[in-house]
Amino acid sequence: MSDLATVLVGRLAASFDEARDPVRAVGAAAYMRDLFPFLGLTSPVRRARARLALAGLPRPTEAELRDVALACWSRDEREFQQFACDYLAANIKVPGPAFLDTVAELIVTKSWWDTVDPLAAHVAGGLVRRHPETVTTMDEWSRADDMWLIRTAILHQLTYGAATDADRLFGYCAAQAGHRDFFIRKAIGWALRQHARTDPAAVRAFLAAQSDRLSPLSRREAAKHLSPIRP
C-alpha cells in the first residue's frame, strides 16, 4: 500500500473512531439489513471527519487512488467504503480509462446501493464522460451477470442532462426490462425519470412502446414527474 493510502486511512480510522456512536451504529446497520457493521457516523459528521483526515495531503495519483479505495474496502465499517466513494468522485480527473477495472472491482465487492449508486453516477459516469471510448465498457456491463454492474450501466448517465445518450439509455432499459430484481427495475425507473427532466416526450414515447415489457415499478418511477397527456 502506498504511503498516502497508509497515512490517510490511518487518519480516517482515528478520526472516525473519535466520533463513533454505538447507538446510531445499530440503527444504521439495521437500515442496511445488517449487511455491514457501522461506526454510527451521520453523513455530515463523516464528511467533516474526512476533511480533517485529508488536511495537508497531496492530490493522489491514479495508483494511490486505487490503494486508498481498496484499503477502505478492506475495512469492516461501512463508513470507510462511503468515504472512498466520495474520495474517488472528488478526484475523478486523476485516473485514466483503465481505472474502470478498479471501479468494477469495487462495485462487485461488498455491494449495496449506498456504494454502487455513487460509483455509478459520479465515478463510472465521470470516467465515461472524460474518456468517451470507455462507453463500450458500459455496454458490456449492461449485459453482465452481476446485477450491480447492470445497475451501474443504467445509472452511469444520471448526471449528464442534455448530454445523455438517449439511444443507449433506452437500449439498456429495454434490454433489462424483464429483469426480476428490484434494484434493476428501480434503476430503470430512476434513470428514465431523470432523463424526463431533459426530454419528457422521448421518455413518454419509450414508456408507451415498452409498456408490456417494463415492470409496474419501472413505469411508475419513470412517470412520477411526467405531466398527464391532455386529450
Residues 20 and 85 in one domain: yes
Residues 23 and 114 in one domain: no
Give the whole-number percent of the chain exceeding pLDDT 90: 97
Residues 6 or more apart whose CB falls under 8 angstroms from that of 106 comprise 69, 73, 84, 115, 119
Among 79, 95, 111, identify where a domain stops: 95
Residues 127 and 83 in one domain: no
Domain limits for position 181 = 102-231
Residues 109 and 46 in one domain: no
> Residue 106 maps to which CATH number?
1.25.10.90
Query: Does the pLDDT at position 229 exceed 80?
Result: no
Nearest CA to 110 among 78, 88, 87?
A: 78
Question: Is 15:54 a contact under the CB 8 Å cutoff?
Answer: no
- What pLDDT is recorded for position 188? 98
- What pLDDT is recorded for position 1? 84
- The dihedral through the CA atoms of 131, 136, 139, 145 has a sign that is negative
Residues 84 and 131 in one domain: no
Number of domains observed in the structure of the chain: 2
Count H helices and E strands in the chain, helices first.
14, 0
Phi then psi for 213, rounded to 5 degrees?
-105, -30
- DSSP characters over 161-218: GGG--HHHHHHHHHHTTT---HHHHHHHHHHHHHHHTT-HHHHHHHHHHTTTTS-HHH
Residues 4 and 62 in one domain: yes
Residues 84 and 110 in one domain: no
**What's the whole-number mean pLDDT along residues 164-177?**
98
- What pLDDT is recorded for position 196? 97
Residues 163 and 218 in one domain: yes
pTM over 0.85: yes
Q: What is the pLDDT of residues 177-224, one digit of tens each?
A: 999 999 999 999 999 999 999 999 999 999 999 999 999 999 999 999
Q: What is the pLDDT of residues 7-18, one digit of tens each?
A: 999 999 999 999
- What pLDDT is recorded for position 130? 98
End-to-end CA distance of the chain: 64
* Separation of alpha carbons 144 and 133, rounded Å: 19
Query: Does the pLDDT at position 231 exceed 90?
Result: no
Residues 71 and 123 in one domain: no
Residues 164 and 205 in one domain: yes
Number of neighbours of residue 31 by Cβ within 10 angstroms: 10
Question: Is 151:183 a contact under the CB 8 Å cutoff?
Answer: yes
Give the whole-number percent of the chain exceeding pLDDT 70: 98
Question: Is 125:151 a contact under the CB 8 Å cutoff?
Answer: no
- What pLDDT is recorded for position 228? 65
Three cell numbers, residue 83: 468515504
Among 45, 72, 95, identify where a domain stops: 95
Nearest CA to 169 among 198, 145, 130?
A: 198
Residues 144 and 81 in one domain: no
Q: What is the pLDDT of residues 22-39, one digit of tens each?
A: 999 999 999 999 999 999
- What pLDDT is recorded for position 227? 75
Q: What is the pLDDT of residues 125-162, one digit of tens each?
A: 999 999 999 999 999 999 999 999 999 999 999 999 99
**What's the whole-number mean pLDDT along residues 56-66?**
97
